[in-house]
Amino acid sequence: MSYHAPILIITDDISSEESSRILSALTEARLLPAEAVGWRDASDAAIRLQPSAVIATGSNDALDALAQQVAAIEPYVPLVALGPHRANAGNIIGFASDDFDRLPPRLRAALRVRTLHATTLRRLSDDGGIEQPPQHDPLQDATVLLIGRGAAYPALSVALGERVGVVGALSIEAAAKHLNARELDGIVLAEGFSQRVVDAFLTVLFEDTRFRNLPIVVTAPPSERPVDLPNLDFVQGEPAQIVAAALPLVRQHAFEAQLGRLLRALDAGGLIDPRSGLLTLSAFERDFATAVYHAQVRGDGLSVAKFVLNRAEPRAQFDTARIVSRLMRKMDFGTLLPDGSILVVFAEADLRGAQTIARRLMAVIRQTSHSARRESRIDPDVSLATMMSGDSARAILSRLAKLDTRRAAS
């Protein structure tokens, strides 16, 4: 595969064996063109070439400054640093392996994010009716699955929870349920499992295309049977070291997910909120009024549920909204209200049917949504209102608000 912008390799010595091995690995993987420069020319080369990716080698004090320079380039330019580096900048993706055959898959996965970003920027410029949403750190939306049951698990949970949302699993079976129920931006597999179990779990992730590019950090030593996952790292040390190694790849994956939601919003003509995955409030109000009118004309059932996320911080609110958007039926629609509660309309559903659907959603939310407080699950309150003969959309929402007020007062 050929990229119009070259891949920039920055090294202490462009004629070294390490530089030759990198170029050889990229050439064999058809990641071309590639150009190697020394650290003295790194800044000028980044401006002149506007590279598609940067690979930095050698422990150099200029790495953080280069990372800031690369971060300002659009579309996204992945920066992969080989060997032990200070990872002060959030966009420095580490690569500590001596096996350079693993470098092209990691780079190719990062370049897919660059392509997605370029597509998003083009779509935003082509569609003058949709404004680009405010930029924020993708880690604000990131959720990491922490699997483990050893002594290091609590400390890892705290260290991760300071930076991203954390979903904990004490067994591989529980982890599998989370993987199938929600979107995740990374996995930290801590101690407490045999090498055979770890190998089997990584093999399952590799065989499922949904998880193949997921960032995975394993705190156990590498297996003798390596699994070809591009964003798999084996990191041992203190919890802070493990988290520092995982966060750049987690941020990249969260950015990719952010772009995917934005593209879906563009496909929907700006009617979907990119952060929640649900309808914008204005689109919801319009669709709800139309749905009530058609249900009244045809004599169909229609119900509305309001999920109140008590004391949930914004990250948990958006996270829960994305879970609801993924799990609700195709015929249903919803929105995240400014107060953090979620409205979901159940089409062709009477009160009993709406109760059944709401219970199913509640069960998944309780099992998969966590607040910033350690090991604290989200346990929403739910109110239901069903359309009656002659009801308007405003009447249904008013009745729902009264039910919600009574529930809060009781």
With contact defined as beta carbons under 8 Å apart, do 383 and 305 qualify?
yes
SS3 347: strand
Least confident window among 165-179, 310-324, 334-348: 310-324
With contact defined as beta carbons under 8 Å apart, do 70 and 91 qualify?
yes
Greatest Cα pair distance in the chain: 81
SS3 398: helix
Residue 203, pLDDT score? 93
Give the pTM.
Answer: 0.89
Residue 2, pLDDT score? 45
Q: Distance between CA atoms of 397 and 393, rounded to whole angstroms?
A: 6
Q: Distance between CA atoms of 180 and 210, rounded to whole angstroms?
A: 10
With contact defined as beta carbons under 8 Å apart, do 3 and 32 qualify?
yes
With contact defined as beta carbons under 8 Å apart, do 146 and 332 qualify?
no
pLDDT at 1 over 60: no
pLDDT at 315 over 60: yes
Residue 176, pLDDT score? 92
If you average pLDDT over every residue of the chain, what do you get? 88
pLDDT at 87 over 80: no
pLDDT at 171 over 90: yes
**What confidence tens digit (pLDDT) does each residue in 236-279 have?**
889 999 999 999 999 999 999 999 999 998 888 889 999 999 99
With contact defined as beta carbons under 8 Å apart, do 195 and 223 qualify?
yes
**What confidence tens digit (pLDDT) does each residue in 355-406 have?**
999 999 888 887 766 555 544 567 788 999 999 998 999 999 999 888 766 6
- The stretch 93-114 carries a mean pLDDT of 90
**What confidence tens digit (pLDDT) does each residue in 74-85 have?**
999 999 998 765
pLDDT at 334 over 70: yes
